[in-house]
Structure 1
Amino acid sequence: MGFSATGGMAGSSAMVGWVAARGSSGGIKQYYLGGLTPDKVVPDKGNLQVIVNSSFITMESGRVYMVFQLATTTSSALPSWLLFATGPTGLFPSAPGYQLVKHLDKVSIRIDYTSGSIGNSQSQANGSSSSSSSTPQSDSCGNKLMNSNAVFTFDTSNLNCFPVWNAQDFILRYSQSSSNIWSFIVSAPDKNSYIAMGFSPNGAMVGSSAIVGWVPSSSSITATGGLKQYYLGGTTPSQVVPDSGNLQFVANSTLITSQSSRLFLAFQLQTAQPLSRLIFAVGPTGVFPSVPSFALAQHQDKASITFNYASATGSSSSASSSSSVNSIVSLKRTHGLLNILGWGILIIMGAIIARHFKQWDPLWFYFHVSVQSLGFLLGFIGVISGLILNDRLHANVQIHKALGIIILVLACLQMMAILARPKKESKARKYWNLYHHNTGRILIILAIANIFYGIHLGHEGSAWKIGYGIVLAILFFIAFIFEMRKWSDDEDDDDD
């Protein structure tokens, strides 16, 4: 039996007792649960003031009884969260280390010592808790929160209520508790999956911070429940970072509980005004974050809304299935590949041909025009796909978008310059060459910079940057070899 300030095992102090079968010795000790690893579970340590000679452990009629007395000034000095756990069969602490084996199952409850009322209970961690019910019930804004006084840590009597996601039956309750504190409770059906609520600067999942809660079913032996903040830095699992984000929670306000087959995710934020772009998600059935990484599995469904806190209204609600998410990821990568191939490879190849293969006149010219035209076509399609992607994501990529448009305009000027190309003997030819060559150089420099910037914005990781960097290095190496050869030939001509 443990006493916790937050409902989590880490940081709590516990009394542990055991009675081995067939007359083997038993024992009782206090442990301090300093962390998740065995070396942080320390025997004969903790914050409990156990009265001398008051503790003992005994077994009668097939039941184990653990008895102890604690010395406190008042009942309020005791933490309101109680933890209970059972160990694995046949494994007990023993001399000399008295190391505690990981529990087989556990539960946490919140208790009011003065009234004797118990809040909620379930296998949980990090300030979370739950209770189960065999009778499924729906929730609506007309319903009162169940056992609100005993369960939630903040006042729930004056919460505004709004159905935010009808497809998944998500209901949001909220209120401004003070000038800089906002209270939230999200209600959703308990489908044995995690639920999440995120706050986004632009409506997209990437770049948002989310609070995620989960309560595994009683049949989930290895998974325990919990609640964590995640920063959604990208679309890959490594970029969804636990215990990170921009949300400032009020201490001891976070809670996840399951009641009557519904999950209730509660928390308070320290902010003058929460972001109005809200994101909600449901995780895959039976897949939960777990130690040590607490990696978050990809959601099976999500929704994004723009919410007006003053009027309790939402707009532009959109649900996105996993197939829709995959289509956006596919469009993003298509956009990147087209622009890399068009602006970042073919245009450079065309410039190398024009500079170093003029001895094969007029073949070099036709080859140069063909390669540049193909690069322009692929790059043009890439820009259009980027505009479509930006319209779907509503992402803040103004610099990347502006550079892409400038590159497209320069490329259009280059294509039109072919039609206005003066003859070799014309006096205007040298001015045309000056314009055409320098515009091409500026286009290539901007294209390379925007490609790397686009990979950064797309959160595709270092693989794309390294891959394109290798291709770019090969092209520059080839250009350098041809340039050295050209300089050598020019010196030979001067000597002659």
Structure 2
Amino acid sequence: MMNTSFKFSTQLLFFCIFQIFISFQILKVNSQDSNTDSCNSNLKLKGGIFFDTASFQCLSVWDQQGYILRYKRTNTSVWSFVLSAPNTNAYIAMGFSEKGKMVGSTAIVGWVANDGTPTMKKYFLGGQSPNQVLPDEGNLQLVNLTSSVVAENSRIYLAFQLSIEMPSNRLIYSVGPTGMLPSTVNYRLTEHQDKTSTSLNYNTGQSETKTLYANLRRSHGLLNMVGWGILMPIGVMVARYLRQYDPIWFYSHATIQSLGFILGFAGVISGLILNSRLQNNVNKHKGLGIVILLLGCLQVIAVLVRPDKESKIRRYWNWYHYTAGRILILLASINVFYGIHLGNAGTSWNAGFSIALVILFITALILEIRKWKRT
């Protein structure tokens, strides 16, 4: 009977891990969705674009944010551009830079207000602070009466023409924080939520993306999600529901928790590196990450100084280890969702992690019921 119960419990845990793997495959597939626009589709909008969009070059310039750029040299001194991106209730921007840096560049920025009013502005990026980003300034000349912003099919389209013989091939794209649109009083921009830079060959349509730490950002999210958010709960489940199989439960618990700690530690460090390079305002997310890391380190130290079973203080050690571990998991789950929100990673990441947590919860519930029946 004992072997049958052990077999059932381990099979259930393996099923749990398999289902989590499937949820990440769903996340991977969903993350490839470009929200109804692609270079394979014709640009047919109900809203107004005030110039001919036929025979445009088209390329995906920022896969992570779903940015697609269409452009054409209309005549010797006019270039036409249409930038499309998911409509996340945030501004989208396309900057032209001589040196590939944001400071010193001129950007075309567009957004659609909550009441449906579209707005496009030219900005000169004189520095990194908001008061140095100046509206209606810069060295680009927009062709009169050709600029428009269109919101359609869950996307926003930024259409404009430049009066220039050859625009800079160093292009910078950014997206603003969700729900923080410029006011009509001073049109001041809040700090971007994310940005990337590319080098575009206008003749061939080839774009070399120099995305700013996109891989590091993705690794940061996955390491923390898997380490703190998935492996740690599985390790807790092993300790709670397989304890009768001594010492198998202990070594399994220690191995899973150690792997989770290593991945989580790497995730926090990558996040600190990312923050130091991007200089984004993510103090709450960063603070939670540091608290989670400290709790993880305390758990490791607690294991190293674990008293004997016969010790009088063993019960207090058990209480501390139990409580600190569950606080860590709770904070980690909150911080993963918060990080997904800050990174504007989309519904696919939220869905993937949510499915994983639901699977863990259902598995724990089944094992808890079996535990109650045994006792």
Determine if the TM-score, normalized by the shorter chain, exceeds 0.5. Answer: yes
Opposite residue 167 of structure 1, the aligned amino acid is K
Matched, 1:373 2:305: no
**Is 1:485 the equivalent of 2:370?**
yes
1:441-483: CA deviation from partner (whole Å, max 9, x where unpaired): 1111101111111111111111111111111111111111111
Note closer, same or farther for the CA distance 1:256–1:480 as it changes in structure 2 (3 Å cut): same
Partner AA of 2:305 in structure 1: A
Select 2:282's aligned residue among 379, 383, 397. 397
| Alpha-carbon distance between aligned partners in 2 of 1:103 and 1:405, rounded to the nearest angstrom | 50
Q: After TM superposition, give the deviation of residue 239 of structure 1 in Å.
A: 8.5
- Give yes or no for contact 1:131–1:259 (8 Å, CA) kept in 2: no
Compute the displacement of 1:227 (Å): 2.8
Give the residue type in structure 1 aligned to 2:333: I
Which deviations, in whole Å up to 9, do the C-alpha atoms of 1:99-149 show, x marking residues without a partner? Answer: xxx9999xxxxxxxxxxxxxxxxxxxxxxxx99558xxxxxxxxxxxxxxx
Question: Which has the greater radius of gyration?
Answer: 1
Q: Separation in 2 of the partners of 1:167 and 1:459?
A: 28
Work out whether 1:258 is the aligned partner of 2:136.
no
Alignment of 1:199-218 (within 5 A): none
The Cα shift of 1:166 comes to: 3.8
SS in 1 for 2:310: coil
Q: Which has the higher contact order (CA 8 A, sep 6+)?
A: 2
For 1:16-95, what aligned pairs fall within 5 Å after superposition? none
Question: Pick from 343, 353, 373: which aligns with 2:228?
Answer: 343
Determine which of 425, 432, 454 is the counterpart of 2:310.
Answer: 425
From 227, 230, 235, the counterpart of 2:147: 227
Q: Which structure: greater helix fraction?
A: 2
Q: 1:364 to 1:199 in 2, by over 3 A?
A: farther
Could you say which residue in structure 2 is the equivalent of 1:241?
156
Counterpart-to-counterpart distance in 2, 1:417 and 1:360: 23
Equivalent position of 2:83 in the other structure? none
- Name stretches of at least 5 consecutive residues in structure 1 with no aligned partner: 1-35, 41-82, 86-101, 106-129, 135-163, 174-183, 187-195, 217-224, 232-237, 244-253, 264-268, 288-297, 301-320, 491-496
SS of aligned partner of 1:241? strand
Q: How does 1:128-147 map to 2 (within 5 A)?
A: none
Structure 2 unaligned runs (5+)? 1-44, 56-72, 78-95, 109-120, 169-182
Please say if residues 210 and 229 of structure 1, whose CA atoms lie closer than 8 Å, have aligned partners that are also in contact.
no
Once residues 334 and 379 of structure 1 are traced to their aligned partners in structure 2, the CA distance between those partners, rounded to angstroms, is: 11
Find the aligned partners of 2:268 and 2:333 in 1 and give their Cα distance.
14
Aligned-partner Cα distance in 1 for 2:101–2:237? 60
Amino acid at match of 1:460: A
* Compared CA separation, residues 374 and 214, structure 1 to 2 (3 A): farther
Distance 1:262 1:203 in 2: 23
Distance 1:351 1:104 in 2: 59
Which residue is 1:445 aligned to? 330
Give the TM-score of the pair, scaled to structure 1. 0.43
| Paired position in structure 2 for 1:331 | 216
The CA deviation at 1:412 is 0.6
Aligned pair 1:362/2:247, yes or no? yes
Which residue number corresponds to residue 471 of structure 1?
356
Q: Is the 8 A contact 1:332 1:389 kept in 2?
A: yes
Q: Determine what percentage of the aligned residue pairs are the same residue.
A: 40
| Separation in structure 2 between the aligned mates of residue 169 and residue 395 of structure 1, nearest angstrom | 17
SS in 2 for 1:359: coil
RMSD in angstroms over aligned alpha carbons? 5.0
Residue aligning to 2:301: 416
Partners of 1:166 and 1:103 in 2: CA distance: 27
DSSP 3-state at the match of 2:244 = helix
Q: How many residues align?
A: 259
Instruction: Say which SS state the counterpart of residue 430 (structure 1) adopts.
Output: helix
In structure 1, the residue matched to 2:339 is: 454
Residue in structure 2 matched with residue 167 of structure 1 by the alignment: 99
- Aligned CA distance change for structure 1 residues 228 and 480 (closer, same or farther; 3 Å): same
1:381 and 1:185 map into 2 onto residues whose CA distance is: 36
Instruction: Tell me if the contact between 1:132 and 1:258 (Cα under 8 Å) persists in the aligned partners.
Output: no
The 8 Å contact of residues 135 and 188 in structure 2, kept in 1 or not, is answered as no
Counterparts of 1:93-112 in structure 2 under 5 Å? none
1:76-121 Cα offsets, whole Å, 9 max, x none, are xxxxxxx9x9xxxxxxxxxxxxxxxx9999xxxxxxxxxxxxxxxx
Q: Which amino acid aligns with 2:99?
A: A
